[in-house]
Structure 1
Amino acid sequence: MRSKLFVPGSRPELFPKALASEADALSFDLEDSVAPARKAEARLALRDFLLSGALSGSTKTIIVRINAPETPYFAEDILAMTQAGVHMLNLPKPRDTNDIRAASRAMAEAQEINGVTAPIGLLVNIETPYALRCSHELAAADPRVVGLQLGLGDLFEPLGIARRDVSAVRQAMFAVRMAAGEAGVFAYDAAFADIRDEAGFLAEAEQARQFGFIGKSCIHPRQIALANAAFRPGDEEIAHAQRVVEAARQADLQGVGAYVVDGKMVDAPFVRRAEALLATATRLGLLAPQDVTEARP
């Protein structure tokens, strides 16, 4: 899920175009991009699209950003959007862990009503001071939570923090990544509003990847290729990971706990990272499954 394209729920003419894009994931939005007067219209249009069969055969990750728990749209959004083919609901502005659990309960009820048997996860937004401070508690609040998504605009703007301040961005990224790591879920990077600044988008995406985020949100199709490039494992990274995994296999056979690969000391944490990178490379078609050597016999 290197790239995730936002698609306004009130723009159904964009749905097929988004589905045909190079984005790994689509985030259909019922929240900020939809005016209050059009919430019901957008919900109905998106529900019809989800039920139309248009998603059949698609390999994209399908996400719907619903409205926040304190809004009058929350319950109806969950009931309408908990449909087959949807992989996650994106929960904005959670006020506490009770909001996470309430969303999960409502999703379970909606799955039963709608006859949905495949699991649907919760992607939780970290976009308020409370959410940043308590991000691990939010991530660990319910088994349905699969990831944390950073929202820098909502987080920074009300506090007067410059959105382009690299130090502030890095601190927020690091906090979210640590919380996600502790809870065992993924971390996903924020949107970048300046569509014309491709260098700025790419630099922020590369920073996010260095911090262990799995991808970046895109608000315009021109950002998709940038995100895909930033989160693509490089050829030398793949080759190094293969050497690490093979060295681990040999070390296991010899009963060795730590060893040297490419002049660097390697042990179990490095092996886990190498295995994860090779899994990503395989998923992206950069590596044939038979080219991946298992680290453990």
Structure 2
Amino acid sequence: MKWRSLLFVPADSERKFARAETCGADALVLDLEDSVASGRKAVARDAVKSLLGAAARDWTFLVRINSLGTGLTLADLAAVVRPGLDGILIPKVNGIQDVERISHYVDVLEVAAGIPAGHVKLLTIVTETPAAMLGFARYAAPVPRPDSRLVAMTWGAEDLSVALGALANKEPNGDWTFPYRLARAQCLFAAGAAGVLALDTLYGDYKDQAGLAESCRVARRDGFVGRLAIHPDQVATINACFTPSDADLAHARRVVAAFASQPDVGTVGIDGKMYDVPHLIAAKRTLASAGESADHPGVKTRNPI
């Protein structure tokens, strides 16, 4: 599960899917929601079912379903929870209660489809409603359960802007206005409290590669491990930005090795600088993001996060 780049693809567009599956994205998000017209929802579901039965692939297969408020959620889930599906992206959640409700639906549908229990993971867009902005503390305790399907959170500004009646969500220089900077930060905090991945939102101007790269740099600096994409041309830039450099990996290996050689100490010195347990955790996270075992630096794992 290495999710640097998650590319949205309208589920009813065979042409766009054909391009998307060769662009190098870590995950494709087949969209049943905003990019599919109301009259084509059934067509889109049938397309997803066909694609799920296709040959082996080297990317993760996710589906964004329609939100609980639409009345379409159960039909979406019944159509797509089948062998080949890796995860569900849930939009417009009002809080952890919506995530738990979807999880219970998937529990039943996995059994019906003969899928191993817990295989289908859940990702959520946690900032799309005003109610969602008031319930982040519940992601920390007492849920999600230890066996929760929830593995990642991301955020969005457009639906929240509409719900608030905002005239704009960005400053003239392109920076987010305060309510949406707050939403971004809350997503980071909630993901950290829940122990799941934090993924940054879309970068709307898919032709602005320099702006995308800078936005990714800031996102990675702040703690995001990947981001959503709306165009195949964004994927290479996103992947590069969220992939540790050789220098980053070399340093992380040194930190891990230093602590491993002195298991009874809480701090170690490297090149005249002191490192403590938070640095060790960060180093292990860096190695994991590149697919290396934190216990055996330099050795690739099967499912890096």
Aligned partner of 2:120 in structure 1 is: 120
With normalisation by structure 2, the TM-score equals: 0.86
SS at match of 2:291: helix
Coordinate RMSD, CA, aligned: 2.3
Q: Match of 2:195?
A: 184
Residue in 1 that maps onto 2:250: 239
Q: How does 1:143-182 map to 2 (within 5 A)?
A: 143-156=148-161, 158-163=165-170, 164-166=174-176, 168=178, 170-182=181-193
- Unmatched runs of 5 consecutive residues or more in structure 2: 301-305
The answer to whether the 8 Å contact 1:120/1:144 transfers is yes
Contact 1:26 1:61 in 2 (8 A): yes
Offset at 1:291? 2.6
User: Quick one: structure 1 residues 290 and 238, their matched pair in 2 at CA, closer, same or farther if it must change by over 3 Å?
Assistant: closer
More moved, 90-99 vs 127-136: 127-136
Offset of residue 162 of structure 1: 2.5
Q: Give me the whole-angstrom Cα distance separating, in 2, the residues matched to 1:40 and 1:115.
A: 23
Q: How does 1:64-103 map to 2 (within 5 A)?
A: 64-103=63-102
SS at 1:129 equivalent:
coil
Question: What is the identity, as a one-letter code, of the residue corresponding to 1:215?
Answer: G
Residue in structure 1 matched with residue 280 of structure 2 by the alignment: 271
Per-residue CA deviations over 1:46-80 (Å, capped at 9, x if unaligned) read 112212x23x2x22111100000011211010111
- Residue 151 of structure 1 deviates from its aligned partner by 1.2
Partner of 1:193: 204
Q: What is the CA deviation profile of residues 111-131 of structure 1, one whole-angstrom value per residue up to 9, with x for unaligned ones?
A: 112111261111011222322
The amino acid that maps onto 1:202 is A
Give the letter aligned to residue 155 of structure 1.
Answer: L
What is the aligned partner in structure 1 of residue 303 from structure 2? none
Gaps of 5+ in 1: none
**260-269 or 39-48: bigger deviation:** 260-269
User: What percent identity do the matched residue pairs reach?
Assistant: 36
> Of the candidates 223, 230, 233, which is equivalent to residue 241 of structure 2?
230
Aligned to 1:220: 231
* Worse-matched range after superposition: 219-228 or 99-108: 99-108
One-letter code aligned to 1:39: K
Asked if residue 25 in structure 1 is aligned to residue 63 in structure 2, the reply is: no
2:155 is matched by which residue type in structure 1? L
Superposition TM-score, scaled by structure 1 size: 0.88
Look up the match of 1:250: 261
Cα separation, partners in 2 of 1:90 and 1:96, compared to 1, 3 Å: same
1: distance between equivalents of 2:256 and 2:151? 27
SS of equivalent residue, structure 1 residue 147:
strand
**Of 77-86 and 150-159, the range deviating more from structure 2:** 150-159
Instruction: Please name the residue that 2:8 is paired with.
Output: 6
- The change in CA–CA distance for 1:249 and 1:193 in structure 2 (over 3 A counts) is same
Structure 1 Cα separation of the partners of residues 292 and 259 of structure 2: 22
